[in-house]
Amino acid sequence: MTDVGQRDVGKALINAFALLLVLSYALPYVYLLMTALKPAADVQQIPPRFFPHTVTLENFREVLSTATLPKAFVNSLVVAVLTTVLSLALAVPAAYVATQYRRPITVVFLLFALITRMVPAVSLGVPLFQLLKSLGLLDTKAGLVVAHTSTAVPLALLLMAAFFEGIPKELAQAARMDGCTRFQAFTKIILPIMKPGIAITALFSFIASWNEFLYALLLTSEHSKTAPIVIAEYNSVYGLAWGPMTAAAVLYSLPVIIVTLVLQKQIIGGLTFGAVKG
Protein backbone atom coordinates (compact mmCIF):
# COMPACT_ATOMS: atom_id res chain seq x y z
CA MET A 1 0.00 0.00 0.00
CA THR A 2 1.34 3.43 -0.92
CA ASP A 3 1.87 6.26 1.55
CA VAL A 4 -1.13 8.10 0.08
CA GLY A 5 -3.32 5.04 0.53
CA GLN A 6 -2.15 4.60 4.12
CA ARG A 7 -2.94 8.24 4.85
CA ASP A 8 -6.42 7.86 3.34
CA VAL A 9 -7.11 4.76 5.43
CA GLY A 10 -5.83 6.47 8.56
CA LYS A 11 -7.98 9.54 7.86
CA ALA A 12 -11.04 7.34 7.28
CA LEU A 13 -10.46 5.51 10.58
CA ILE A 14 -10.08 8.80 12.45
CA ASN A 15 -13.30 10.15 10.89
CA ALA A 16 -15.15 6.94 11.73
CA PHE A 17 -13.96 7.08 15.33
CA ALA A 18 -14.94 10.77 15.58
CA LEU A 19 -18.38 9.96 14.16
CA LEU A 20 -18.91 7.16 16.69
CA LEU A 21 -17.81 9.47 19.49
CA VAL A 22 -20.24 12.18 18.41
CA LEU A 23 -23.07 9.65 18.08
CA SER A 24 -22.37 8.26 21.56
CA TYR A 25 -22.78 11.77 23.01
CA ALA A 26 -25.79 12.61 20.84
CA LEU A 27 -27.69 9.34 21.42
CA PRO A 28 -29.14 10.25 24.87
CA TYR A 29 -30.37 13.60 23.55
CA VAL A 30 -31.87 11.97 20.44
CA TYR A 31 -33.68 9.45 22.65
CA LEU A 32 -34.91 12.35 24.82
CA LEU A 33 -36.28 14.09 21.74
CA MET A 34 -37.89 10.87 20.44
CA THR A 35 -39.61 10.33 23.80
CA ALA A 36 -40.92 13.89 23.78
CA LEU A 37 -42.51 13.26 20.36
CA LYS A 38 -44.32 10.10 21.48
CA PRO A 39 -47.99 10.02 22.55
CA ALA A 40 -48.69 9.13 26.18
CA ALA A 41 -49.50 5.49 25.38
CA ASP A 42 -46.21 4.93 23.55
CA VAL A 43 -44.12 6.48 26.31
CA GLN A 44 -45.21 3.76 28.74
CA GLN A 45 -44.90 0.96 26.16
CA ILE A 46 -43.02 -2.20 27.20
CA PRO A 47 -40.64 -3.01 25.65
CA PRO A 48 -39.89 0.63 24.82
CA ARG A 49 -39.44 1.77 21.23
CA PHE A 50 -36.61 4.11 20.29
CA PHE A 51 -38.52 5.87 17.50
CA PRO A 52 -42.14 6.97 18.02
CA HIS A 53 -44.79 4.96 16.21
CA THR A 54 -46.80 8.18 15.87
CA VAL A 55 -45.22 11.64 16.04
CA THR A 56 -47.17 14.13 18.14
CA LEU A 57 -46.57 17.51 19.74
CA GLU A 58 -49.08 17.00 22.54
CA ASN A 59 -46.34 16.87 25.19
CA PHE A 60 -44.97 20.23 24.06
CA ARG A 61 -48.45 21.75 23.98
CA GLU A 62 -49.10 20.47 27.50
CA VAL A 63 -45.96 21.96 29.04
CA LEU A 64 -46.40 25.29 27.23
CA SER A 65 -50.05 25.57 28.24
CA THR A 66 -49.15 25.70 31.93
CA ALA A 67 -48.04 28.94 33.57
CA THR A 68 -45.51 27.23 35.83
CA LEU A 69 -42.90 26.21 33.27
CA PRO A 70 -42.71 29.49 31.27
CA LYS A 71 -42.29 31.42 34.52
CA ALA A 72 -39.57 28.99 35.61
CA PHE A 73 -37.84 29.41 32.24
CA VAL A 74 -37.81 33.19 32.72
CA ASN A 75 -36.41 32.76 36.22
CA SER A 76 -33.66 30.47 34.94
CA LEU A 77 -32.78 32.84 32.10
CA VAL A 78 -32.64 35.92 34.34
CA VAL A 79 -30.54 34.15 36.96
CA ALA A 80 -28.17 32.61 34.39
CA VAL A 81 -27.62 35.89 32.51
CA LEU A 82 -27.06 37.93 35.67
CA THR A 83 -24.72 35.26 37.07
CA THR A 84 -22.71 35.23 33.83
CA VAL A 85 -22.41 39.03 33.69
CA LEU A 86 -21.50 39.33 37.36
CA SER A 87 -18.99 36.47 37.18
CA LEU A 88 -17.24 38.00 34.18
CA ALA A 89 -17.22 41.46 35.76
CA LEU A 90 -15.43 40.03 38.81
CA ALA A 91 -13.25 37.35 37.25
CA VAL A 92 -11.85 39.09 34.15
CA PRO A 93 -10.05 42.00 35.86
CA ALA A 94 -9.06 39.80 38.81
CA ALA A 95 -7.51 37.17 36.53
CA TYR A 96 -5.69 39.84 34.52
CA VAL A 97 -4.11 41.39 37.59
CA ALA A 98 -3.26 38.00 39.08
CA THR A 99 -1.44 36.81 35.94
CA GLN A 100 0.12 40.00 34.56
CA TYR A 101 1.26 41.54 37.84
CA ARG A 102 2.42 38.46 39.71
CA ARG A 103 2.96 38.86 43.43
CA PRO A 104 2.94 36.26 46.20
CA ILE A 105 -0.55 37.39 47.16
CA THR A 106 -1.86 36.80 43.62
CA VAL A 107 -0.50 33.25 43.62
CA VAL A 108 -2.31 32.63 46.91
CA PHE A 109 -5.42 34.21 45.38
CA LEU A 110 -5.44 31.79 42.43
CA LEU A 111 -4.69 28.85 44.74
CA PHE A 112 -7.62 29.86 46.91
CA ALA A 113 -9.87 29.90 43.82
CA LEU A 114 -8.69 26.39 42.95
CA ILE A 115 -9.36 25.14 46.48
CA THR A 116 -12.82 26.72 46.37
CA ARG A 117 -13.64 24.62 43.31
CA MET A 118 -12.77 21.49 45.30
CA VAL A 119 -15.34 22.21 48.02
CA PRO A 120 -18.53 20.14 47.49
CA ALA A 121 -21.50 22.36 46.75
CA VAL A 122 -23.68 20.40 49.17
CA SER A 123 -21.45 21.47 52.07
CA LEU A 124 -22.21 25.13 51.30
CA GLY A 125 -25.97 24.67 51.10
CA VAL A 126 -26.78 25.24 54.77
CA PRO A 127 -24.43 28.24 55.24
CA LEU A 128 -25.85 29.87 52.10
CA PHE A 129 -29.39 29.18 53.30
CA GLN A 130 -28.69 30.83 56.67
CA LEU A 131 -26.91 33.78 55.04
CA LEU A 132 -29.66 34.48 52.52
CA LYS A 133 -32.32 34.01 55.20
CA SER A 134 -30.65 36.64 57.38
CA LEU A 135 -30.53 39.01 54.38
CA GLY A 136 -34.14 38.33 53.41
CA LEU A 137 -33.13 36.91 50.03
CA LEU A 138 -34.64 33.44 50.26
CA ASP A 139 -36.86 32.55 47.30
CA THR A 140 -35.64 35.56 45.30
CA LYS A 141 -33.77 35.74 42.02
CA ALA A 142 -31.20 38.04 43.62
CA GLY A 143 -30.42 35.45 46.29
CA LEU A 144 -30.08 32.70 43.71
CA VAL A 145 -27.77 34.91 41.62
CA VAL A 146 -25.56 35.40 44.68
CA ALA A 147 -25.44 31.65 45.29
CA HIS A 148 -24.69 30.81 41.66
CA THR A 149 -22.07 33.55 41.40
CA SER A 150 -20.27 32.19 44.44
CA THR A 151 -19.60 28.97 42.52
CA ALA A 152 -19.23 30.48 39.03
CA VAL A 153 -16.60 33.10 39.90
CA PRO A 154 -13.83 30.61 40.86
CA LEU A 155 -14.43 28.70 37.63
CA ALA A 156 -14.41 31.88 35.55
CA LEU A 157 -11.31 33.12 37.37
CA LEU A 158 -9.32 29.96 36.67
CA LEU A 159 -10.41 29.88 33.02
CA MET A 160 -9.55 33.53 32.42
CA ALA A 161 -6.23 33.18 34.24
CA ALA A 162 -5.29 30.38 31.85
CA PHE A 163 -6.14 32.59 28.86
CA PHE A 164 -4.33 35.64 30.24
CA GLU A 165 -1.20 33.52 30.70
CA GLY A 166 -0.96 33.40 26.89
CA ILE A 167 -0.90 37.21 26.58
CA PRO A 168 2.64 38.67 26.33
CA LYS A 169 3.27 41.31 28.98
CA GLU A 170 4.99 43.39 26.31
CA LEU A 171 1.58 44.31 24.85
CA ALA A 172 0.52 46.22 27.94
CA GLN A 173 4.01 47.70 28.32
CA ALA A 174 3.94 48.97 24.72
CA ALA A 175 0.54 50.54 25.33
CA ARG A 176 1.89 52.27 28.43
CA MET A 177 4.80 53.65 26.44
CA ASP A 178 2.29 55.05 23.90
CA GLY A 179 0.59 57.01 26.66
CA CYS A 180 -2.16 54.65 27.82
CA THR A 181 -2.95 54.20 31.46
CA ARG A 182 -3.10 50.68 32.85
CA PHE A 183 -6.87 50.75 32.63
CA GLN A 184 -6.80 51.98 29.03
CA ALA A 185 -4.25 49.32 28.09
CA PHE A 186 -6.52 46.70 29.63
CA THR A 187 -9.74 47.88 27.98
CA LYS A 188 -8.40 48.94 24.56
CA ILE A 189 -5.60 46.41 23.95
CA ILE A 190 -6.04 43.32 26.10
CA LEU A 191 -9.82 42.84 26.18
CA PRO A 192 -10.30 42.83 22.37
CA ILE A 193 -7.66 40.10 22.13
CA MET A 194 -9.38 38.11 24.86
CA LYS A 195 -12.80 37.87 23.17
CA PRO A 196 -12.48 34.10 22.49
CA GLY A 197 -11.46 33.41 26.08
CA ILE A 198 -14.25 35.59 27.44
CA ALA A 199 -16.76 33.83 25.16
CA ILE A 200 -15.76 30.39 26.48
CA THR A 201 -15.80 31.60 30.08
CA ALA A 202 -19.23 33.18 29.57
CA LEU A 203 -20.54 29.95 28.08
CA PHE A 204 -19.28 27.83 30.97
CA SER A 205 -20.62 30.31 33.53
CA PHE A 206 -24.01 30.39 31.79
CA ILE A 207 -24.24 26.59 31.63
CA ALA A 208 -23.15 26.24 35.27
CA SER A 209 -26.00 28.51 36.38
CA TRP A 210 -28.54 27.25 33.82
CA ASN A 211 -28.14 23.61 34.87
CA GLU A 212 -27.71 24.20 38.63
CA PHE A 213 -30.15 22.15 40.70
CA LEU A 214 -29.03 21.94 44.34
CA TYR A 215 -29.06 25.63 45.29
CA ALA A 216 -32.28 26.20 43.34
CA LEU A 217 -33.86 23.37 45.34
CA LEU A 218 -32.63 24.65 48.70
CA LEU A 219 -33.05 28.39 48.24
CA THR A 220 -36.33 28.70 46.31
CA SER A 221 -39.87 27.53 46.94
CA GLU A 222 -42.45 29.32 44.78
CA HIS A 223 -41.62 32.74 43.37
CA SER A 224 -38.08 32.08 42.06
CA LYS A 225 -38.27 28.38 41.25
CA THR A 226 -36.12 27.56 38.21
CA ALA A 227 -36.85 25.19 35.33
CA PRO A 228 -34.77 22.19 36.57
CA ILE A 229 -36.88 22.10 39.72
CA VAL A 230 -40.16 22.35 37.80
CA ILE A 231 -39.07 19.63 35.35
CA ALA A 232 -38.17 17.31 38.24
CA GLU A 233 -41.65 17.81 39.71
CA TYR A 234 -43.57 16.50 36.68
CA ASN A 235 -45.80 13.78 38.10
CA SER A 236 -49.03 12.05 37.23
CA VAL A 237 -51.29 9.56 39.02
CA TYR A 238 -49.16 6.82 37.43
CA GLY A 239 -45.81 8.25 38.56
CA LEU A 240 -43.43 10.40 36.57
CA ALA A 241 -44.98 12.06 33.54
CA TRP A 242 -42.23 11.09 31.12
CA GLY A 243 -43.77 12.70 28.05
CA PRO A 244 -44.16 16.24 29.42
CA MET A 245 -40.92 15.90 31.39
CA THR A 246 -38.87 15.06 28.30
CA ALA A 247 -40.63 17.77 26.27
CA ALA A 248 -39.76 20.33 28.94
CA ALA A 249 -36.17 19.06 29.02
CA VAL A 250 -35.88 19.45 25.23
CA LEU A 251 -37.18 23.02 25.43
CA TYR A 252 -34.85 23.71 28.33
CA SER A 253 -31.82 22.59 26.33
CA LEU A 254 -32.51 24.96 23.42
CA PRO A 255 -31.07 28.17 24.97
CA VAL A 256 -27.72 26.49 25.64
CA ILE A 257 -27.63 25.17 22.07
CA ILE A 258 -28.48 28.63 20.71
CA VAL A 259 -25.83 30.36 22.85
CA THR A 260 -23.24 27.80 21.75
CA LEU A 261 -24.09 28.35 18.08
CA VAL A 262 -23.97 32.14 18.47
CA LEU A 263 -20.55 31.97 20.15
CA GLN A 264 -19.26 29.23 17.84
CA LYS A 265 -16.52 31.29 16.18
CA GLN A 266 -15.29 32.69 19.48
CA ILE A 267 -15.31 29.23 21.07
CA ILE A 268 -13.24 27.74 18.24
CA GLY A 269 -10.85 30.69 18.51
CA GLY A 270 -10.64 30.20 22.27
CA LEU A 271 -9.83 26.51 21.94
CA THR A 272 -6.82 27.34 19.77
CA PHE A 273 -5.88 30.50 21.68
CA GLY A 274 -2.19 30.54 22.54
CA ALA A 275 -1.54 27.32 20.60
CA VAL A 276 0.81 29.09 18.18
CA LYS A 277 3.71 31.08 19.50
CA GLY A 278 5.15 33.69 17.22
Residue 192: other Cβ atoms inside 10 A? 8
What local confidence, expressed as pLDDT, does residue 276 receive? 43
Looking at residue 79, its pLDDT comes to 95
CA distance 149 to 85: 9
Give bridge partners of residue 236 from the DSSP assignment.
239
| Residue 90: per-residue pLDDT | 92
| Contact criterion met (CB below 8 Å) for 199 and 114 | no
Residue 203 in 3-state DSSP? Answer: helix
SS3 assignment, position 85:
helix
Question: Cα(first)–Cα(last) distance of the chain, in Å?
Answer: 38
Q: Which residues of the chain have pLDDT under 50?
A: 237, 275-278
Residues with Cβ within 8 Å of residue 3, at least 6 apart in sequence: none
3-state DSSP call for residue 252? helix
Model confidence, pTM: 0.81
Instruction: Give Cβ neighbours of residue 88 (< 8 Å, ≥ 6 apart).
Output: 156, 198, 201, 202, 205
The H or E element containing residue 235 is: strand 235-236
**Separation CA 182–CA 100 (nearest Å):** 11
In the chain, how many H helices and how many E strands? Answer: 15, 2
At 270 the pLDDT is: 60
Confidence (pLDDT) at 238: 55
Residues with Cβ within 8 Å of 24's Cβ and at least 6 positions away in sequence, in order, are none
